[in-house]
A = this chain, B = another copy of it.
Amino acid sequence: MKNPNMLKNSVKNNLFLRACYRQSVVRTPVWMMRQAGRYLPEYRAVRSKYDFITMYKTPELATEVTLQPIDIIGVDAAILFSDILVIPEAMGMELIFEEGRGPSFPEPIRTNEQVNKLKTVHPEDSLHFVMDAIKLCRKELDNRVPLIGFSGAPWTLATYMIEGKGSKNFNEIKKWRYENSEYLHNLLNRITAAVLSYAKAQIRAGIQAFQLFDSWAGILDPPGFREFALNYARQILRELKSENIPLIYFAKGGGIWMDALQECEADVIGLDWTVDIGVARSQLGARYALQGNLDPTALLASPEKIRREVIRILDSYGHGEGHIFNLGHGILPQVPVNHAQAFVEAVKEESLKYH
Contact = CB atoms under 8 A, between A and B. Distances in A.
Contacts of A300: 171, 174-175, 178-179
Contacts of A305: 178-179
Given A178-B309, A256-B274, A295 B171 contact: no
A319 interface: no
A127 interface: no
Interface in A42-88: none
A88 B209 CA distance: 49
A279 to B, nearest CB: 8
A275 B225 CA distance: 11
A297 B179 contact: no
A185 to B, nearest CB: 15
Which of A275, A301, A312, A334 has the most C-beta atoms of chain B within 10 angstroms of its own C-beta? Answer: A301
Given A169-B332, A305-B178, A332-B169, A220 B274 contact: yes
B175 A297 contact: yes
A255 B274 CA distance: 10
Nearest to A177: B297
A139 to B, nearest CB: 35
A298 interface: yes
A253 interface: yes
Contact of A218 (B174, B177, B274): B274
Which of A169, A220, A221, A276 has the most C-beta atoms of chain B within 10 angstroms of its own C-beta? Answer: A221
22 contacts: A169-B296, A171-B297, A171-B300, A171-B332, A174-B295, A174-B298, A174-B300, A175-B300, A175-B301, A177-B297, A178-B297, A178-B298, A178-B305, A179-B300, A179-B302, A179-B305, A220-B274, A221-B273, A222-B276, A224-B295, A255-B256, A256-B275
